[in-house]
Structure 1
Amino acid sequence: MLNIIWICFFLAAFCTALVKLVVFGDQQVFALLMEALFSQSKAAFEISLGLTGVLALWLGVMRIGERSGFILLLTQCLTPLFSRLMPDVPKGHPALGAIVMNISANMLGLDNAATPLGIKAMKELQTLNPNPDTASNAQILFLVINTSGVTLFPVTILTYRAQLGAANPTDVFIPILIATYMSTLAGLLAVAAVQKINLLDKVIMAYLAGFTMAVGGLLGYFTHLPQQEMLAQSALMSNVILFSLVITFICGAVYKKVNAYDAFIEGAKEGFQT
């Protein structure tokens, strides 16, 4: 399928340029087409290079978390939930740790951290996939949750809006929180219906109720904050929480006498292989 799509890109571009040349007499169209081809190739390389650096950083941090035992601890906290949502994933599997970290980064609105963790999670889930050419139930559910993921602190969006001169950069905070919460719930319901996941299970209901209360509490708190205060506090909380997690991993490694640097380098190497 990807082969067909890739070929169609070039054929569509050629046919469109040919029509513009023959019908509209645009003699510059092929020059512009080639210019775009080279410029976008350069842009693709720069994006890939930048993503490789981010991948190396966060996969290195993940490896420290694994060696220090904190990833396992985080995973165990959510194992009762994921064992019901993803019964095909064994307890304690590395995929669960990557999934937890990815969801956490998405909730904090930290896209640069979420992307490599999501790739790591999907790669780990693929090792459990009996049909490598077809997405497994666990991969489908993770993709839905990741795509529609609840964003508690949409720092990136608020920052972009402020930089581009929005009159009220934070006025989308509440709509984003509600929209992403509802989209995640809708996605979960849809996947559960297809995969026959029992969402009325007491454990799942308890997690959903707790999460709903957390979202409601956050809504109540930020609703009463002034615009600038909301932007500042959401950014501060997101970055403090994530960096505190990194420090916790490192301190855990020191406590367990794990060589944090070697663990980081070992994990970072995966960023160049992913």
Structure 2
Amino acid sequence: MNIIWLLLICISIVSAIFTGNLEPFTKAIFDGAKAAVEVSLFLLGIISVWMGITRILEDSGLIYRIAHVFKPVVGRLFPQVPGDHPAISAITLNLLANMFGLGNAATPLGIKAMQELGELNGHSETISFEMMVFMVVNTASIQLVPFSLIGILASFHAKNPAAIVLPVMVATVIHACSALLVLFGFRRVLK
């Protein structure tokens, strides 16, 4: 992959030189780098806030109450996971982070959930069905309020950055349901 990126950069530089667009090319590189840093810092702030909230939820014990509210949904998706197992809390936190459009903050929570599900699987070399379901749900990333995307649109001065909420919600719910149907369909066919 590094070779491909290197080739793309070299071809771009040579093309800019031969077409006489070296100055706009250089300006675009620095403008892109500046925008990347600004967006990264913005996202870092969002992730930090969410991770802080997550830590407070864990330390105060509220996560168990939240997990209890989501227990019927999580229990139906993960029937083999005991209700009091730490995997339920990790899965719940991951789902909440994804629902609020904080996919980057959901990553460490997803890793924790997979570790907990791995313990239930006996640290086997093969993946359990519950791990598959979690990967599908996590990858589908149902979003109720995509805070990160709204924040990015707001930072670029969009007229109505919240206008994306309904389309994103509908698209992610359809995506998640479709992915789960395919997974459960394959499970039924392969049994």
1:96 to 88, 97, 116: 88
Count of residues in Structure 1 that have an aligned counterpart in Structure 2? 158
Deviations 1:149-205 (A, max 9, x none): 221111211121122243543332221111011111111211222234xxxxxxxxx
Q: Is the 8 A contact 1:95 1:124 kept in 2?
A: yes
Note the C-alpha offset of 1:59: 6.4
Q: Is the 8 A contact 1:58 1:117 kept in 2?
A: no
- Aligned: 1:61 with 2:95: no
Q: Is the 8 A contact 1:86 1:138 kept in 2?
A: yes
Q: Is the 8 A contact 1:75 1:96 kept in 2?
A: yes
Larger Rg: 1
Structure 2 letter corresponding to 1:129: N
Structure 2 letter corresponding to 1:143: M
Moved >6 Å (runs of 4+): none
1:111 to 98, 103, 114: 103
2:135 counterpart residue number: 143
With over 3 angstroms needed to count, the CA separation of the structure-2 counterparts of 1:167 and 1:123, relative to structure 1, is same
With over 3 angstroms needed to count, the CA separation of the structure-2 counterparts of 1:143 and 1:15, relative to structure 1, is same
Deviations 1:98-153 (A, max 9, x none): 11111112112233542222222112111112453332211111111111122111
> What RMSD in Å do the two structures reach over aligned CA positions?
3.5
With over 3 angstroms needed to count, the CA separation of the structure-2 counterparts of 1:155 and 1:72, relative to structure 1, is closer
2:121 counterpart residue number: 129
Structure 2 letter corresponding to 1:97: S
1:71 counterpart residue number: 63
- Where do 5+ consecutive residues of structure 1 fail to align? 1-8, 21-42, 197-274
Structure 2 letter corresponding to 1:178: V
Q: For residues 134 and 122 of structure 2, what CA distance do their matches in structure 1 show?
A: 17
Q: For residues 83 and 119 of structure 1, what CA distance do their matches in structure 2 show?
A: 19
Q: Is the 8 A contact 2:74 2:92 kept in 1?
A: no
With over 3 angstroms needed to count, the CA separation of the structure-2 counterparts of 1:78 and 1:161, relative to structure 1, is closer
Corresponding residue SS for 1:188: helix
Q: For residues 135 and 62 of structure 1, what CA distance do their matches in structure 2 show?
A: 29
Identity of aligned residues (%): 32
Corresponding residue SS for 2:120: coil
Q: Bigger relative contact order, structure 1 or 2, given CA contacts below 8 A and separation 6+?
A: 1
Note the C-alpha offset of 1:74: 2.7
Q: For residues 14 and 157 of structure 1, what CA distance do their matches in structure 2 show?
A: 27
2:72 counterpart residue number: 80
- Where do 5+ consecutive residues of structure 2 fail to align? 12-36
Q: For residues 104 and 132 of structure 1, what CA distance do their matches in structure 2 show?
A: 28
With over 3 angstroms needed to count, the CA separation of the structure-2 counterparts of 1:116 and 1:58, relative to structure 1, is farther
Give the TM-score normalised by structure 1: 0.47
Q: Is the 8 A contact 2:103 2:141 kept in 1?
A: no
Q: For residues 6 and 154 of structure 2, what CA distance do their matches in structure 1 show?
A: 41
